[in-house]
Amino acid sequence: MSSILNCIRADDVMATLLEVKDLVVKFALRGGDVTATNGVSFDLARGERLGLVGESGAGKSVTGFSIINLISQPGYIASGSVNFHGENLATMSAARLRTIRGNRISMIFQDPMMTLNPVLTIGTQMIETLMAHNLQMCKERARGIALEKLRKVHIPSPERRLEQYPHEFSGGMRQRIIIAIALLTDPELIIADEPTTALDVTIQAEIMDLLIELCETEGMGMILMLDTCRCRSGNWTLAVMYLRRTGY
Ligand SMILES: Nc1ncnc2c1ncn2[C@@H]1O[C@H](COP(=O)(O)OP(=O)(O)OP(=O)(O)O)[C@@H](O)[C@H]1O
Ligand SMILES: [Mg+2]
């Protein structure tokens, strides 16, 4: 059976931002290597939106982590390449990777608590993130950017909200804050790993609309991992993962 179920190109003529080619990721376990992705290939143009759809265990998260070279042991990239503007993220130096990961490429993790620290205010988390990425940035400037991003994701009263802790927000609002954090460095690409899974259906639709709006206003590319195809609007390219592969 073909491992490629479906792939629809929305637009084939734009410049390439990211090219993932024959990506094989394995986990070295005691009983032998387990193959998590077995030849994932796709590419993404600047400003393009790709929906990566697949059942649980298909390898969506592993693909996302591999793009930013964040697969931790015992996982490893066995073969393949992840070219961002023509540079292979899978083999570049840690120092060079730090200038791209979290700066030019942001990831919204499947588990929101991987992003938010429950004991720090939203403001502290956003300001510290910005200052860690840009050592020259002063606190006042970082606060201004944090407020601007909260406005972009339609958080009302952002000045007051900056002083609050994650538990003081609803699930949908927390997800908006996570998106605002991903936007802090004005990335060219956002990888969003099932960002709506924990939310009810109405809020899921609102977050999807927000992601599409941000791609359009900010000109960002986006890879959105989903377990079912919910990319009905917004001009998405779709790739379906099956048998831990995808391709054209
Ligand atoms: N830490 C790990 N150790 C061993 N194998 C792993 C590990 N993480 C992932 N895998 C393997 O990689 C495969 C793909 O996992 P992944 O988390 O990418 O799936 P997914 O498509 O994101 O699923 P879901 O929709 O449930 O989030 C899993 O089936 C598993 O075999
Ligand atoms: Mg996953």
How far is ligand 2, taken at its centre, from the CA of residue 193, in Å? 7
Instruction: Write down the domain spans for the chain.
Output: 1-104+189-248, 111-184
Our mutation pick for probing the ligand 1 site, out of 23, 30, 56, 62, counting the most ligand atoms within 8 A of Cβ, is 62
pLDDT at 227 (0 to 100): 81
Please give the C-alpha separations between residue 215 and each of 49, 144, 191, 236, in angstroms, as whole numbers. 8, 21, 12, 11
How far is ligand 2, taken at its centre, from the CA of residue 244, in Å? 12
pLDDT at 153 (0 to 100): 94
Write out the CATH class of domain 1-104+189-248.
alpha beta
Q: Are 202 and 150 in contact (CB under 8 A)?
A: no
Q: Ligand 2 being an ion, which residues bring their Cβ within 5 A of it?
A: 60-61, 110
How crowded is residue 120: how many other Cβ atoms within 10 Å of its Cβ? 14
Q: Are 112 and 175 in contact (CB under 8 A)?
A: yes
pLDDT string in tens for the chain (248-residue length): 333 334 445 444 458 999 999 999 999 999 999 999 999 999 999 999 999 999 899 999 999 999 999 998 999 999 999 999 999 999 999 999 999 998 999 999 988 777 899 999 999 999 999 999 888 999 999 999 999 999 999 999 999 999 999 999 999 999 999 999 999 999 999 999 998 887 888 888 888 899 999 999 999 999 999 887 666 666 788 888 876 676 54
Q: In 3D, which of 185, 119, 118, 114 has the Cα closest to residue 149?
A: 185
d(CA 81, CA 95): 18
Q: Are 144 and 227 in contact (CB under 8 A)?
A: no
Atom 30 of ligand 1 has which residue's CA nearest to it? 36
Ligand approaching nearest to the C-alpha of 193: 2
Alpha carbon 135 to chain centroid, angstroms: 24
d(CA 139, CA 190): 25
pLDDT at 115 (0 to 100): 86
How far is ligand 1, taken at its centre, from the CA of residue 228, in Å? 17
- Pocket residues for ligand 1 (CB within 6 Å)? 27, 34, 36, 54, 56-62, 75, 110, 227
How crowded is residue 108: how many other Cβ atoms within 10 Å of its Cβ? 23
